[in-house]
A and B are shown apart, each in its own frame.
Chain A
Amino acid sequence: MSTEKPSALISKYLRTQHLPHIWCPGCGHGILMRDVAKAIDNLKIDNDNVCLVSGIGCSSRIAGYMDFNTIHTTHGRAIAFATGIKLAKPEMTVIVVAGDGDISAIGGNHLIHAARRNIDLTVVVFNNDIYGMTGGQYSPTTPKGELGTTAPYGNIDRPFDISALAKGAGATYVARGTAYHAVQTIKMIQDGISHKGFALIDCISACPTYYGRKNKKGGAVEMMKWQQANGVSVEKAAGMTAEELAGKLVIGKLHQEMGVPEFTEEYQRIIDRFTVGG
Chain B
Amino acid sequence: MGKRLVVNHRWCKGCGICVAFCPKEVLAMKNDKIQIADESKCIRCGQCELRCPDYAIFLEDVINKTTEEAQ
Number of A residues whose C-beta is below 8 Å from B?
A: 33
Instruction: List A contacts of B56 (CB < 8 A).
Output: 20
Q: How many A-B residue pairs have CB under 8 A?
A: 81
The reply to whether the CB of A258 lies closer than 8 angstroms to some CB of chain B is: no
Distance in angstroms from B35 CB to nearest chain A CB is 10
Q: Is the beta-carbon distance between B11 and A180 smaller than 8 angstroms?
A: no
The reply to whether the CB of B41 lies closer than 8 angstroms to some CB of chain A is: no
Q: Is the beta-carbon distance between B8 and A28 smaller than 8 angstroms?
A: no
Q: Is the beta-carbon distance between A20 and B13 smaller than 8 angstroms?
A: yes
The reply to whether the CB of A90 lies closer than 8 angstroms to some CB of chain B is: no
Q: Please report which residues of chain A, range 218-255, place their CB below 8 angstroms from some CB of chain B when the two chains form the complex.
A: 219-221, 224-225
Q: Is the beta-carbon distance between A31 and B51 smaller than 8 angstroms?
A: yes
Binding site for B on A (CB under 8 A): 1-8, 10, 14, 19-21, 23-31, 34, 179-180, 182-183, 208, 219-221, 224-225
Q: Is the beta-carbon distance between A224 and B21 smaller than 8 angstroms?
A: yes
CA distance in complex: A20, B15 (Å): 14
A221 with B17, Cβ < 8 A, contacts A7-B55, A7-B58, A30-B54 known: yes
Instruction: List A contacts of B52 (CB < 8 A).
Output: 30-31
The reply to whether the CB of B26 lies closer than 8 angstroms to some CB of chain A is: no
B 1-34 binary contact with A (CB < 8 Å = 1; else 0): 0001111111101111100110000000000000
CA distance in complex: A4, B55 (Å): 11
Instruction: List B contacts of A23 (CB < 8 A).
Output: 53
Q: Which of B5, B20, B55, B60 contacts A224 (CB 8 A)?
A: B20
User: Can you name 12 A-B pairs with beta carbons within 8 Å?
Assistant: A3-B6, A3-B7, A3-B8, A6-B55, A20-B56, A21-B54, A25-B13, A25-B53, A30-B55, A31-B50, A220-B53, A221-B20
Other than A2-B6, A3-B7, A220-B53, give 11 A-B pairs with Cβ distance below 8 A. A2-B9, A6-B8, A19-B11, A20-B10, A20-B13, A25-B13, A25-B15, A26-B16, A30-B54, A31-B52, A180-B51
Q: Is the beta-carbon distance between A220 and B55 smaller than 8 angstroms?
A: no
Instruction: List B contacts of A24 (CB < 8 A).
Output: 13
Q: Is the beta-carbon distance between B7 and A183 smaller than 8 angstroms?
A: no
Instruction: List B contacts of A31 (CB < 8 A).
Output: 50-53
Chain B residue nearest in CB terms to A186: B50
Q: Is the beta-carbon distance between A219 and B7 smaller than 8 angstroms?
A: no
Chain B residue nearest in CB terms to A19: B11
CA distance in complex: A29, B52 (Å): 11
Q: Is the beta-carbon distance between A220 and B15 smaller than 8 angstroms?
A: yes
Instruction: List A contacts of B49 (CB < 8 A).
Output: 7
Instruction: List A contacts of B4 (CB < 8 A).
Output: 1
Q: Is the beta-carbon distance between A26 and B13 smaller than 8 angstroms?
A: yes
Instruction: List B contacts of A30 (CB < 8 A).
Output: 52-55
CA distance in complex: A1, B5 (Å): 7
CA distance in complex: A23, B54 (Å): 9
Distance in angstroms from A100 CB to nearest chain B CB is 18
Instruction: List A contacts of B21 (CB < 8 A).
Output: 224
Instruction: List B contacts of A25 (CB < 8 A).
Output: 13-15, 53-54
Instruction: List A contacts of B13 (CB < 8 A).
Output: 20, 24-26
Q: Is the beta-carbon distance between A27 and B8 smaller than 8 angstroms?
A: no
Q: Is the beta-carbon distance between B50 and A220 smaller than 8 angstroms?
A: no
Q: Is the beta-carbon distance between A224 and B51 smaller than 8 angstroms?
A: yes
Distance in angstroms from A18 CB to nearest chain B CB is 12
